[in-house]
Amino acid sequence: MSSLSIWLDGKFVPEEDAKISIFDHGLLYGDGVFEGIRAYGGTVFKLKEHIDRLYKSARVIKLKIPLSPDEMTEAVLESCRRNQVENGYIRLVVTRGRGDLGLDPQKCPKPTIFIIAADIELYPEEAYTKGLKLVTVPTRRNLAESVNPRIKSLNYLNNIMAKMEAHQAGAKEGIMLNDQGYVVECTGDNIFIIESLKKLRTPPPYMGALEGITRQTLMDIAEASGFDVIEEPLNRYDLYVADECFVTGTAAEALPVIEIDGREINGGKPGPLTRELIDKFRNSVCDYGTPI
């Protein structure tokens, strides 16, 4: 396997030379933001939307990115070219940068930026054809008044703890609730249910869900396909009695769900409307792409 070429603070370096300071506050405190981005067929999926979200997350935590959005866009595209990535995954990270051992971000004069263009596989292929089994996990989603989940920050311990609990229960993915007991999202994916008469429901961002870019794409596709798309609070009862269910995420893409907390969905098989939406998504991904 050949060495990757990593974009690090304005220069491309071999992956073995891509190093950051042990005093970087992204490492010490999870102080930073990131984006996970997909490439399909020689295009980068919804690159503008990902770049826009990166800069919004940075603005919220008062992290000034020293590149313009156009410069960042070109850095992402060039990373794909250098690594010959036509179908793959891009991780774009901006940390607060090197500081001291204290928390004060004012001690970090310059952010660290790096871009990795490579491959990723979150779930086995059979999960896409046969569907996922989900469990509700004990760990609750971060309060919006503490670390707002709409910020795509480097601090993912909340999600990691929930993922461990899902694995301990024998599931590949876990459903997270907010402090009020409402369904928010999975540890790394947004969640949807389908009810009769083509009604598509998903938790709204104000409940604590990330405004997923793949999520929004599936909502747009569903609306164009005649679905009634509704963002509203959901509880576990709504999931258990749903006709169909699926999850979405940039890295995960879109997968059917066949069981939640031991309750079968659609008789334990991927639903036909879910299949319809996922097929339309897969057939249209290049239409939303920026050419590499």
CA distance 173 to 161: 12
Tokens standing for residue 15: 């992956």
Beta strands 5-8 and 112-118 are antiparallel
Of the residues 11, 64, 130, 152, only one is catalytic, namely 152
What is the distance between the alpha carbons of residues 183 and 177, in angstroms, rounded to a whole number? 4
Q: What are the DSSP E strand ranges found in the chain?
A: 5-8, 11-14, 32-40, 43-45, 88-95, 112-118, 132-136, 173-177, 183-186, 190-195, 199-202, 228-231, 244-249, 253-260, 263-264, 289-291
Q: How far apart are CA 127 and CA 185, in angstroms?
A: 18
Catalytic, 152? Answer yes
Residues annotated catalytic, as ranges:
152
